[in-house]
Homo-oligomer: A and B are copies of this chain.
Amino acid sequence: MPRTKGDHEARRRDVSEAVWRVLAAHGFGGLTLRAVAAELGATTGLLTHYFPAKRDLVAYALDLLTERTASRPRRAAGDGLAALRAALLDILPLTAEATDSNRIWVSSWDTALADPALSDDHARKYEQSRVRLGELVSAAQRLGELPAGDPARIAAGAQSFVLGLVVQALFNPTAFPPRHQVELLDDYLASLASPTSSGGDHPASA
C-alpha cells in the first residue's frame, strides 16, 4: 500500500514523541536508537531509516528541543517588571511539562559543551534570550520600576539567577517546589528593584 504524506507526518510525530520521552527519562546520555525504538514499539531497523547515525539522532533531538521551547505557551503579561517576571517564570520548572523541558535542556549541556558547533549554537540561544530580557529590563526602567543601570548587565544577572534555580530545582524538587521557586524569583526581582542594586556601588568588593 502506498504511504501518504499524512502517514509520513503522523509517523514523524510519533518519532518526536518517543525521542522526547527518552530524553525526559534518560537525558542525552541515554538517547540511543534502541531506546527510541523501544519507546516507539518499533525496530531499530525502522529507526535507522530516520537516523542513519547516532549524531543524526542527537541533532534531531536538539532541533526538537529548540522547536518545543519556541512553541511552548507563554504567560500573558503586561509591561515592565510584570513582563520580565512572566518571562522568567516561563523558564522555571513550575509544571511537569516545563520540568521535562528543563531536564532535557540541562542534559543537553554535556553534549553541547563537547562539540564546538553545538556549543556556539547554545551560546547564541542564550544571547538571544538575554537580548529579550534586556528589552524587558529597559521597559521596566522607562516605567520607573527598575533603577537605572546597564540593561544587558541586569539581563545577564537575571538569566544566571533563573538558570541556576532551574538546576537546583531539578535536583531537589522537594526543597524547591514551585511556590518556593517563585518566592526566590520574587526576592531576586525585589532586590533588582531596590535603588542600590544596579552597579556603581559595590560594598562587597571594597
**Is A141 among interface residues, defined by CB-CB distance under 8 A?**
no
Q: Are the C-beta atoms of B113 and A107 separated by less than 8 Å?
A: yes
Q: Give complex CA distance A193, B191 in Å.
A: 9
Known interface pairs A29-B29, A204-B189, A205-B85. Does A126 touch B172 (Cβ–Cβ under 8 Å)?
A: yes
Chain B residues with Cβ under 8 A from A156's Cβ? 168, 175-176, 184
Specify the main secondary structure of chain A where it touches its partner.
helix
Q: Give complex CA distance A1, B172 in Å.
A: 51
Q: What's the number of copies of this chain in the assembled complex?
A: 2
Per-residue CB proximity of A164-206 to B under 8 Å, as 1/0? 1111101110011000001111111111111111110111110
**Is A21 among interface residues, defined by CB-CB distance under 8 A?**
no
Q: Are the C-beta atoms of A190 and B196 separated by less than 8 Å?
A: yes
Known interface pairs A26-B114, A187-B198, A204-B81. Does A165 touch B171 (Cβ–Cβ under 8 Å)?
A: no
**Is A162 among interface residues, defined by CB-CB distance under 8 A?**
yes
Q: Are the C-beta atoms of B114 and A30 separated by less than 8 Å?
A: yes
Interface residues of A (CB under 8 A from B): 25-30, 81-82, 84-85, 103, 106-114, 119, 122-123, 126-127, 145, 153-154, 156-157, 159-168, 170-172, 175-176, 182-199, 201-205
